[in-house]
Amino acid sequence: MGNTQDGGDLTDLLTPRRLPGGEAAQGDERGRKSERACKRCQGTHLITCAKCNGRGRLSPRGGYHKKNPVSMEKIEGSQWTAMERTLGWRHFRVAGKRRGPEAAAAGGSAAWLVEMVATCDPSARLWINAQNLRDREHWSMGWLQKAELAARTDEDSEAGKVCKACHGSKSVACPACIASRKKLERKEKASNTRNTDLLIGRETKLDTSKAHET
């Protein structure tokens, strides 16, 4: 079924305990009601892994956001970093835009061309399809520094690997169910302790009474 965050077996935590005589423990019915009432997992005891968004593996190259958002209305003046040196530079800004030759047929952002100008060398210019800016493998929004570029490289190197949080199962144990079960176990333990104390007290009184009779 799955493992808890501390490595325990989820089945052990969620399986009702039974008394030696074969009767279900008093907390079993409460446990079943709690399971039915779990709104987070709908009684499955599992939730979608948030680390990989239920994929079982990390997202493709570029992280969880596969594409950069590109708005042609705000594109002019925007800043971009080339993930590989282009014309000898990495930092660029969009100096202008114009419709491409396929504009009449294509429409949308695919029909736009944008002029990229290196920030440190205005003579380094090139026109590219605006759609290319959406590719995070080649462009990143803003002007990234060396540390940020290194972080992005590390992020990309992890892409496609099995998710460590769910071990590729796409789901993890429902924390609400685990917490509910542990709470019931604590209550049952406290109740058993009180019952044991009462039983010992009765036996002590009985022994004392017999001693007085003799």
Distance CA 197, CA 205 (A): 12
- pLDDT tens across 111-129, in order? 799 999 999 999 999 999 9
- pLDDT tens across 38-80, in order? 877 888 888 888 887 777 877 654 444 568 999 999 999 999 9
Q: Report whether pLDDT(30) > 70.
A: no
The mean predicted confidence, pLDDT, of the chain is 75
For residues 109 and 94, the answer to whether their CB atoms sit within 8 Å is no
